[in-house]
Structure 1
């Protein structure tokens, strides 16, 4: 897996989040994907996609300001600092989030298996 593939998947996830594109997210997230929020709450893939679908979570803009790759070549990982303008459970803010994501092969491509969000 190349750095470009990892970065492209990260950008595709961010763009799909802003667009509310559940089909694209469905394509790039592993079945067992989880999103750990900055509060520590671990949300399943289906729960997160449902929250986007119902508008409980609306992503208005995401900008990746820095990204670095993990050091273990056997475990593809990307840590990205983002400015994320979102309305989450009724509160809108621009959060300075670190999104740490892990990837695995699926078919002829790759998917995101887990993302952990924290602040920077």
Structure 2
């Protein structure tokens, strides 16, 4: 996977989050995908997509401030510092989030296997 492909897939996730595009998220997230929130709560793919669909989690804007690519062994990863304007379980704020995502090949493309959020 090229660095450009990793960045493109990561940006596609951000765009789909803001658009509430569940079909796009479904196509780019691994079936076992998990999102670890800044609180440490690990949310399954299905639970996260349901929260987006119900409006419990609404992403209004995500701005990538900087990003870096790395490898964990043979697995490509991308770390993005973002300004994330979101309403999460009723609380709206702009969070300074570091989102670290890992990728793996699936079929002819790649998927995101997990993302871990923390503050910066």
Correspondence 1:1-120 to 2 at 5 A = 1-72=1-72, 74-120=74-120
- The Cα offsets for residues 16-65 of structure 1, whole Å up to 9 and x where unpaired, read as 00000000000000000000000000000000000000000000000011
Q: 1:72, CA displacement in angstroms?
A: 4.6
Higher mean alpha-carbon deviation, 12-21 vs 66-75, is at 66-75
Unpaired runs of 5+ residues, structure 2, are: none
d(CA) in 2 for partners of 1:72, 1:36: 18
The 3-state SS of whatever aligns with 2:38 is coil
Please identify runs of 4+ aligned residues in structure 1 that moved more than 6 A.
none
The 3-state SS of whatever aligns with 1:38 is coil
Higher mean alpha-carbon deviation, 63-72 vs 18-27, is at 63-72
d(CA) in 2 for partners of 1:71, 1:54: 35
CA RMSD of aligned residues (A): 0.8
The 3-state SS of whatever aligns with 2:75 is coil
Unpaired runs of 5+ residues, structure 1, are: none
Higher mean alpha-carbon deviation, 70-79 vs 45-54, is at 70-79
d(CA) in 1 for partners of 2:19, 2:9: 15
Q: 1:71, CA displacement in angstroms?
A: 4.3
Q: 1:75, CA displacement in angstroms?
A: 1.4
Give the number of aligned pairs: 120
Give the TM-score, by structure 1 length. Answer: 0.98
Give the TM-score, by structure 2 length. Answer: 0.98
